[in-house]
Amino acid sequence: MRVISYNLRKHAASGELEKLVETHTPNLLCVQEINTDDMPTSVGGLVLADATKLNRLGLAIYYDPQRFVALSTKAFSLKRSLHDIIAKPAHERLLGTHLVDREHDRELVIGCFHAAPLTALNSLRRTQIRAAHEALDSFGPTLPTLMVGDFNYPVFKDHLSTSVQETGHEVTLSDARTYTRYKFFRGHFDFATSIGLDITRVTTLPQGVSDHLPIFVTADYAAPRSETLQ
Helix (H, G, I), strand (E, B) or coil at 117: coil
Q: What is the pTM of this model?
A: 0.91
pLDDT value, residue 228: 47
- For the domain spanning 2-228, the CATH number is 3.60.10.10
The closest alpha carbon to 109, from 93, 118, 98, 100, belongs to: 98
Please list the pLDDT of the chain residue by residue as tens digits (230 residues): 999 999 999 999 999 999 999 999 999 999 999 998 899 999 999 999 999 988 778 999 999 999 999 999 999 988 766 656 555 656 789 999 999 999 999 999 999 999 988 776 778 888 999 999 999 999 999 999 999 999 987 655 667 788 888 889 999 998 988 987 655 555 678 999 999 999 999 999 999 999 999 999 999 999 765 544 44
The helix or strand, by DSSP H or E, that contains position 198, with its residue range, turns out to be strand 197-204
pLDDT at residue 203, rounded to an integer: 97
Distance CA(113)–CA(133), nearest Å, equals 10
State how far the Cα of 98 lies from the Cα of 120, in Å rounded to an integer.
Answer: 30
Helix (H, G, I), strand (E, B) or coil at 92: strand
Question: 69 has which bridge partners?
Answer: 100
Alpha-carbon span 217 to 203, nearest angstrom: 6
Residue 83 confidence (pLDDT): 58
The residue ranges of every structural domain in the chain are 2-228
The HSE-up count of residue 129 (CA atoms within 13 Å, CB side) is 32
